[in-house]
Every structure is written in structure tokens, then in C-alpha cells.
Structure 1
Amino acid sequence: MNYEYFIAKRVIGSKSYKSSISAPIIKIGIAAIAIGIIVMLIAIATGIGLQQKIRDKAVAFNGHITIAKFNSDESEEGQIPISKNQEFYPEFTAVDGVTHIQAVANKFGVIRTLTDFEGLFVKGVGQDYDWKYFKEFLIEGRLPEYSEDYSNEVLISQYLANRLNYKVGDDFQMYFMKQDVSKPPSIMKYNIVGIYNSGFQELDQTYLIGDINHIQRLNKWEKDQVGGFELFIDDYNKLGDIGFEVYKSTPSNLDTQTVAQKYASIFEWISIFDKNIYGIIGIMILVAGINMITALLVLILERTQMIGVLKALGSNNWSIRKLFLYNASYLITLGLFWGNLLGLGLLFAQKYLKLFPLDPNVYYVTEAPVYINLSYILGLNIGTFILCLVMLLVPSYVITKISPVKAMRFE
């Protein structure tokens, strides 16, 4: 029979325990652990969620990896055409982890209305385009449908629709400058079939999605010529390795670039979230541990006479320390329970009710995204429990310094 556990249960269940002097301190310790867990859960869920959301938005517009001709002109307009007759197209089988490849081309143009104008890129796509990401962004209308024939259907951003007062079903003209600036610009008429909002305003105000056939004709390219290729992979964590393998597997006249390289400043910014998360976790566990140490010392002080009696009856120091560690484990578990209940409740409320909006100009998203995964929840709880318990081993050493004779006289 584990008598330490038996006595700990009796102590916890006694009325005197709940109404003792140490009760408020114990409640503060439990509250500290609960608040710590809430803060840590929110920090991890929102930090990882924001990273993934921003990353997915950038991937939606560029793919994980882009393939294009080497070009000293850094602008999208400086694209040099590439033939689609490549070994890696339409299936990139040379590198494991590549799930899809699609041909694209960009062309800068100007939309002009009676009262305003807007300059942006038409991203030309074709039948091979993966609409997975834009299905999530679509807020009105439908996605365009492209085939071998020319199509005037386009998908525009909500930013552009609001700025130029457009809605689904409207037509507009777009002007494209020719290389010979002395000649009048080419004019294309487009029909809006859908409106999207990625929340990534930097990209929403830059692109509309149209038919690649128009880009080829405006640039006077052949039907098998495109501006570049976009690749998607199955595991973002392998982006660097797969990007290097893709580079080695493409011809020497082609360059590859990962989405993290293309938007280096944004990805460096979101990588700082990891340091913030680790910092918050460390601080919260330290605060919770200190509060539990205080609670344990008060418990030991309050039960000094009981410690003296147990020592007089033959209990060794480690047995009595185990008794108090069992007691502390119960308090830690109680704090973890309430922390998880409230923390996960807030996270699920944010996930489904969108309670806390964010400024897309600063955070690239319209509301605080959350990432909920059982593995990090379990890891966080187990780690917090073990670390708090380890921190309590030191103050429990005080028990070894208590004399049985003096302890039984202790008032």
C-alpha cells in the first residue's frame, strides 16, 4: 500500500485543508498555473496559426517554388518566355515531395474608370492551375473557367472591387503598354465572375487572375511559351531541401526561388514569432513554478506537527517529501484542468466565432487565426507538469531539516 498517497488524499479531502490559512495561497498557486496554461495555449495557437496563414497566402499567389528564366530585371514585367516543353512539365517527378506544377505568366496593366485608375498585374493561368487556395479566399461569385480558347473571365480582389466600385458581373477595360511606347496601348475587356479576399492586402492590390492566353497574345508569345512555373510541395518544413533539389534538377538557364526567398522580409518577421512563443512559455512556467513553491512551503509550514509525528513513527524524509509532492501534483493538475478548459474554450470561440479582428495592413490577416493540435496541447501540459514538479523538489528538501521533537511542539 502506498501510504504517502493515502495520507495525501486524506489531507486534500479534509475540511481543515480547505479552510486553512494556506487555502488562499493554494488558490493563487492554482490560478497561476491556470493563467499560465491559458497564456501559453493562446501564444502557441495564435503564433503558429498566424505563421501558417501568412505563409499559405504567399503560397497561393506564388506557389512554394517558382521556376523562371535568369533575368536582371527584377520586375514581374521583365519576364522572359519559357517553353512549356520541359522534362519537368506537366509532371515534376525528378524530386520527391513536389505535388503539382502549373504554368503562369504576368502582365502589368492599368484599369481606368471615369473617376479613377489602378495599376496592377494580370496573373495569367490556364487549365493546369490549382484553385485550392483561392477557393478559401472566394467571397462572392465563382472561380473562372479556362480552356484552350480565350476567356474574358477574371477574378479580382475585394480591395480592387471596393476601390473601383465593381461587383460580380461587371465589365471593365484594361490598358497594356506596348514595347514601342509611341504606339497606342492594347485594350482588353474583362468580365468579373468572382471576388476574393485573401486578407494579404499587399498581394490583393497587386494581382487579378485572368486567362494566360491573353498574356501570350499581348506579349506576342507562342502558345507553348509561358512566363514561368509554380511548384507546390507536400511538406513546407522541407522547403529549403526540396527547393535545392528542384534547382539541381532544372536546366542551367533557369532559376528557382522559394516563397521564403521571394518574400524574405515577411518570412523573417514571422520567424520571430517562434522566439516570442518560447519566451512566453519560459516566463509562464517560471511564474507558475514560483507560485507553487510558495504554496508548498506554506503547506509544509502548516503541517509541521504532522511531519514531526510521521518522523517519530519512523517515516523517512523521502516518504514525507513524496507525500507533499503528491499534494502539489494534485494542485498542479487542478490548475492544468482549469487552464485547458478556459484556454481551449477561448481558442475554439476565436476559431469559429472570429471574436478578435486584426488589421490586415499590419498582420496580413483580418482576424487572429488559431492552430489547434492535440500533440502540442499534450506536450505543453506534460512539460508544464514535469517542470513544476521538478522545481518543487528543491523546497521539499526543507522537510529534511525539521526535527521531530521540535516539530511536535510547533504551534
Structure 2
Amino acid sequence: MNFPLFIARKINDSGDKTRKVSKPAIRIATFGVAIGLAVMIVSVCVVLGFKHSVRNKVIGFGSHITVADFMTLQSSEQYPIQITDSVRNALAKVKGVKHVQRFAYTQGILKTDDDFLGMVLKGVGPEFDSTFIHQNMLEGSIPVFSDSANQQKIVISKTIADKLNLKLGQSIFAYFVNKDGVRTRKFTINGIYETNMKHFDSQICFTDLYTTNKLNGWAADQYSGAELQVNDFEKLDETALNVLKSVKNKTDDYEGTYSADTVIEQYPQIFSWLDLMDLNVWMILALMVAVAGVTMISGLLIIILERTQMIGLLKAMGAKNRQIRSIFLWFATFIIGKGLLWGNIVGIGIILIQKYFGLIELNPQTYYVSTVPVEINIPLILALNIATLLICVFVLIAPSFLISHIHPAKSMHYE
């Protein structure tokens, strides 16, 4: 039988109502641990949700890895690269790559009778993964875009639609200027999307690959590049290195040079901003653990002082200081466990309410999302529980040495 654990359980189960000082101290300690853990869970889940929401939106407009002409990736100009079926198949076989799709950009102007607006037309083919845009569609639908015929359909953002006062199903003229002069195309608005990413919503429109290639004056197998989705974002650098090895120093039939970039390299300012949030989380975790630790230390000291007679009696009966310290550490562990239980109930409860009801709203123009995004990560929540328990017990070891200074004879007169 574990003697310290047995005594600690008896003390914990007794619910001694005569302890007028230690009971409030225990409640305060339990409350401190519960609030600390709840705040940590909410903070971590909100930051994870926000980072992944913004990251997925940036990736949704492009992809994890972009294979294009070397000059395209080094400048804002568009240099075509040859993406044949064999190139696509070779990229799809690279370890870590999940999906490959072609794309082509061209710049133009949308014009109505009353106004005009510059935009970037992105041409996509039948292999285009429309999951992201579909999730953010407000009106209409996304057609299956062709790479061999002009469908005269376009998908625009709500930002563009509001600026030009455009409606679903309406026709609009677009003008494109290149070395061959001005080209005009008439499109029908097939869908309107909104992602709240102002940088993209204010300029990106979608149409078919065939149209963009013709507008750019490129060959049928020339495109701005290929977008690659990976199986695991955490292995993005490793997969990008494999892709770069497969295309490095290779040229196409038109003397274009293949190269590759990751989404992090293309939008470093956004991902640097997201990484700064990790520092905020670590600061919150440190502060909350400190709060929980201090309240537990205060509670333990009060409990030890109020049970001085019991400690003296145990010493008189032959109990060693180490055993008595273990009794109070086990008792503190029970208090911490109760606090962790309530902390999980409160923290996870708040997260679930926000996840399914979205009670807390944000300004999408500033934060890119309309409600506070949350993401429940069970392994991370378990890690927070374990870390909080271990740290709180560890900081109680030093205060527990107060027991060594309690003498059996003197403790009998202590009240």
C-alpha cells in the first residue's frame, strides 16, 4: 500500500468542514488552475484556427508549390512555360505531391457603362481543384473550365461586383492590352465569391485556360505554370526540394527554364505575420501557468500550516519528512486535477460554442475572417493538461520542505 497516497485520499475525501481557512484556499487554487487552463486552451485553439484559416485562403488562391519559368518567379512579369501531360505526370509522381493543375494569368480591365476596374484574369483547366472557391461562393456556381474552347464565363469576387455594380448572369466586357494591341472579350458572370482576403478579392477573376492563353498569344501547351498541392504542409520544404530537384536546370521546347517556389516564399509577409502569433501564445501560456503555480503554492502553504498538528502527530508516529511531503503533494495533485477538469469543461465548452454558433464576430476587412476561427487539437489540449499538471506539482516541491521545520513537540501546541 502507498501510505502517502492513502492518507492524501483520506484527506481529500473527508471534506473537513472545520477547516475554515484551507477550504477557501483550496477553492481559490482550484479556480486558478481552472481559469489558467481554460485561457490556455482558448488561446491555442483560436490562434491555430486563425493561422490555418488565413493560410488556407492564401493557398486556395494558388497552391502549396508553384512550378513556373525562372523569370516569372523572380519578377512580376509573366513568362510562359511548357506544361505538357508528361511534365504534369512527372510532377504528380514527386514524393509528397497530391495534385497538379495548370494555370495562366493575364491582366485586363473590366468595363461597364459607368465605370471600369483593373483585374487579373486567372485561367484554369478541367483539372482545377475548385474546393476552396466553392466553399466561398456567394452566388452562382463554378463551371468546369475548358482548356480547348472559349466558354465566355467568368467568376468574380463580391468586391469587384460591388465596385462595378455587377449581378449574377450579367454580361460584361473585358479589355486586354498586349504587343498585338487591344483585345476585347465578352463574359457572362457565372459566379460571385468572397474570401475576405482583400489582396486577392480586389483583383482575381477566374475563367478558362483557353481564353487566357489566346489573350497572351501563347502556344496551346504554354501556361504561366503548374500549381502543386502537397499531402502534408509540415513537410512543405521537403516536398518543395524534391520538386526543385526534378525540374532544376531543365528547359522546355521554347527555351523556358523551369523553377519552383513555395507559397511561403511567394507571400513571406503574410506568413511572417502569422508566425508572430506564436510568440503571443507562448507569453499567454507562461502567464497562465505562473498564475496557476502561484495560487497552488499559496494554497499548499495554507494547508500545511493549518494541518501542523497532523504533521506533528505523523512525525511522532515515525513518519519521515519525505513521506509527509508526498502526502501533501498527492493532495495538491488532487486539487490540480479538479482544476484541470473544470478548466477543460470551460475551455472546450467556449471553443465548441464559438465553432458551431460563431458568437464572436470580427471585421473581415481587418482580420480576413468574419468570426473568430477555432480549431480543436486534441493532442495539443492533452499536452497542455499534462504540462500544467507537471509544472504545478514541480513548483510545489520547494514549498513542501516547510514540513521539515515542523517539530512534533511544538506542533502539539499549534492552533
TM-score normalised by length of structure 1: 0.94
Contact 1:63 1:231 in 2 (8 A): yes
Aligned residue for 2:371, secondary structure, equals: coil
CA distance in 1, matches of 2:15, 2:308: 18
Aligned CA distance change for structure 1 residues 159 and 48 (closer, same or farther; 3 Å):
same
| Counterpart position of 1:254 | 258
* Cα distance in 2 for residues equivalent to 1:26 and 1:35: 14
Judge conservation of contact 2:91–2:243 (CA < 8 Å) in 1: no
- Cα contact 1:66–1:256 (8 A) shared by 2: yes
Structure 2: state its 5+ residue gaps. Answer: 250-256
- Give the RMSD, CA atoms, in angstroms: 1.8
Counterpart code for 2:348? L
Secondary structure (helix, strand or coil) at the match of 1:381 reads helix
Once residues 115 and 405 of structure 1 are traced to their aligned partners in structure 2, the CA distance between those partners, rounded to angstroms, is 97
Tell which deviates more after alignment, 197-206 or 99-108: 197-206
Displacement after TM superposition at 1:168 (Å): 2.0
Question: Which of 379, 382, 388 in structure 1 is aligned with 2:383?
Answer: 379
In structure 2, C-alpha distance between the alignment counterparts of 1:164 and 1:357, rounded to whole Å: 28
Task: Give the aligned partner of residue 254 of structure 2.
Answer: none
Q: CA deviation at 1:34?
A: 1.0
Determine whether 1:39 maps to 2:18.
no
Say yes or no: does 1:215 pair with 2:212.
Answer: yes
Work out the number of aligned pairs and report it. 407
Aligned CA distance change for structure 1 residues 358 and 91 (closer, same or farther; 3 Å): farther
Letter in 2 for 1:129: F
Matched residue, 1:284: 288
Task: Return the alpha-carbon distance in structure 2 between the equivalents of residues 375 and 72 of structure 1.
Answer: 41
Contact 1:201 1:360 in 2 (8 A): no
Q: CA deviation at 1:390?
A: 1.0
Over residues 146-177 of structure 1, what are the superposed CA-to-partner deviations in whole Å (9 max), with x where a residue is unaligned?
23322122221122222222232222111111
In structure 1, stretches of 5+ residues that fail to align are none
- Asked whether the equivalents of residues 109 and 174 of structure 1 are also in contact (C-alpha less than 8 Å), the reply is yes
1:24 CA drift (Å): 2.1
Greater Cα shift, 354-363 or 190-199: 354-363
Q: Helix, strand or coil for the counterpart of 1:209? A: strand
Q: Distance in 1 between matches of 2:225 and 2:92?
A: 18
The alpha carbon displacement at 1:15 in A equals 4.4
SS at match of 1:34: helix
In structure 2, relative to structure 1, the CA distance for the partners of 1:18 and 1:354 (3 Å cut) is: farther
Deviations 1:267-323 (A, max 9, x none): 111011122212211221111111100000000001001111111111111221111
Code of the residue aligned with 2:244 in structure 1: it is Y
Match of 1:241 in 2: 238
Range with bigger deviation, 142-151 or 296-305: 142-151
Q: Who is 1:393 aligned against?
A: 397
Shift of 1:73: 8.7
Q: How far apart, in 2, do the equivalents of 1:17 and 1:392 lie? A: 24
C-alpha distance in 1, partners of 2:292/2:135? 40
Deviating more after overlay: 110-119 vs 83-92: 83-92
Taking the TM superposition and a 5 Å limit, the aligned residue runs for 1:167-246 are 167-179=167-179, 183=181, 185-246=182-243
Alpha-carbon distance in structure 1 between the residues aligned to 2:97 and 2:73: 28
Normalised by the length of structure 2, the TM-score is: 0.93
Residue 144 of structure 2: aligned partner: 145
Letter matched to residue 215 of structure 2: L
1:145–1:153 Cα contact (<8 Å) kept:
no
How far apart are residue 406 of structure 1 and its match? 0.7
Aligned partner of residue 101 in structure 1, secondary structure: strand
Q: Distance in 2 between matches of 1:231 and 1:302?
A: 66
> What is the deviation of 1:254?
1.6
Partner of 1:59: 59
Alignment of 1:1-400 (within 5 A): 1-17=1-17, 20-71=20-71, 76=76, 78-85=77-84, 87-147=86-146, 148-179=148-179, 183=181, 185-252=182-249, 253-400=257-404
SS in structure 1 of the partner of residue 24 of structure 2: helix
Partners in 2 of 1:73 and 1:390 — Cα distance?
A: 52
* CA distance in structure 2 between the partners assigned to 1:133 and 1:15 by the alignment: 56
Which residue number corresponds to residue 253 of structure 2?
none
Amino acid at match of 1:143: I
Aligned-pair CA distance for 1:178 = 2.6
* Inter-partner Cα distance in structure 2 for 1:73 and 1:236: 21
Aligned letter for 1:232? Answer: Q
Q: Is the CA contact 1:140–1:196 (under 8 Å) kept in the aligned structure 2? A: yes
Matched-pair contact (CA < 8 Å) for 1:30–1:334:
yes
Deviating more after overlay: 86-95 vs 199-208: 86-95
In structure 1, how many angstroms separate the alpha carbons of the residues matched to 2:390 and 2:174? 63
**Residue identity in the other structure for 1:300:** I
* Contact residue 83 and residue 223 of structure 2 kept, 8 A: yes
Aligned equivalents of 1:325 and 1:21: distance in 2? 19
8 Å contact kept, 2:124–2:206: yes
Q: Deviations over 1:5-35 (max 9, x none)?
A: 3332332233434752122222221111111
Q: Please tell me whether the aligned partners of residues 155 and 191 of structure 2 are also in contact (alpha carbons under 8 angstroms).
A: yes
Q: CA deviation at 1:344?
A: 0.5
Q: 1:163 to 1:58 in 2, by over 3 A?
A: same
